[in-house]
Amino acid sequence: MIRMKLNNESVGSTDLIVDIPKLLRSPGEVTNIVSSWDIDSVQTAYSKAVLMHLEIALEAISDRITVTGKLKLHWTSQCRRCLEATTGETLIEIHEVFEEGASEGETFELPVGEKLDLKPMLSEQAMLNLPLAALCSESCKGPPETKFFIHASGSAVKEKKDPRWAILDQLKLPED
């Protein structure tokens, strides 16, 4: 079993890199990896990956390498209702295959060299599982009414206009 503690992505070149010939010489033998990875490069416009904790097993079967296990993804985001910062975890099941002549979108290409870097595959899994519209809690009711300007329909609130668009008020269109 390999145990790693990775502090960030810029740590040495051996982070989550496995020896391909060693795996292929022992078909059917399982290599377990338990690791935590502080990651800062995986993010969307809505959320960001912070930490990944993984427990995976690698196994050579014929001329391919299978990777199975679990990845716990810790993330930060903004609540879609109250707009406050929120955090969460997502548990991801990993079932991936590395092989020569990979099928687009189905398997990963097995590198020609002697080393297999698992970071791109794990980063892809994290990216696909980051929340698009996170909630701080299921009971979140959004911001208090006093925080943002809100008016009930039918009220006599004067409409505020953006002065940059004032010139368009002079535009007269023909009625058809």
Q: Tell me which residue has tokens 């490069």.
A: 41
Element (H, E) at 54: strand 47-61
96: pLDDT confidence band, cut at 50, 70 and 90?
very high
Residues spanned by the domain of 45: 2-129
Rounded to 5°, the CA angle 157-159-163 comes to 150
15 domain-assigned:
yes
Q: What is the rounded average pLDDT of the residues 31-50?
A: 89
98: pLDDT confidence band, cut at 50, 70 and 90?
very high
84 residue type, one letter:
E
Secondary structure letter of residue 102 according to DSSP: P
Q: Tell me what pLDDT residue 5 has.
A: 35
Q: What is the rounded average pLDDT of the residues 144-153?
A: 59
Q: How many domains does the chain have?
A: 1
105 domain-assigned:
yes
123: pLDDT confidence band, cut at 50, 70 and 90?
very high
Give 29-33's long-range contacts (Cβ < 8 A, gap of 24+): 29/59, 29/60, 30/57, 30/58, 30/59, 31/1, 31/2, 31/57, 31/58, 31/59, 32/1, 32/2, 32/56, 32/57, 32/58, 33/1, 33/2, 33/4, 33/57, 33/58, 33/69, 33/118
Q: Tell me what pLDDT residue 159 has.
A: 64
171 domain-assigned:
no
140 domain-assigned:
no
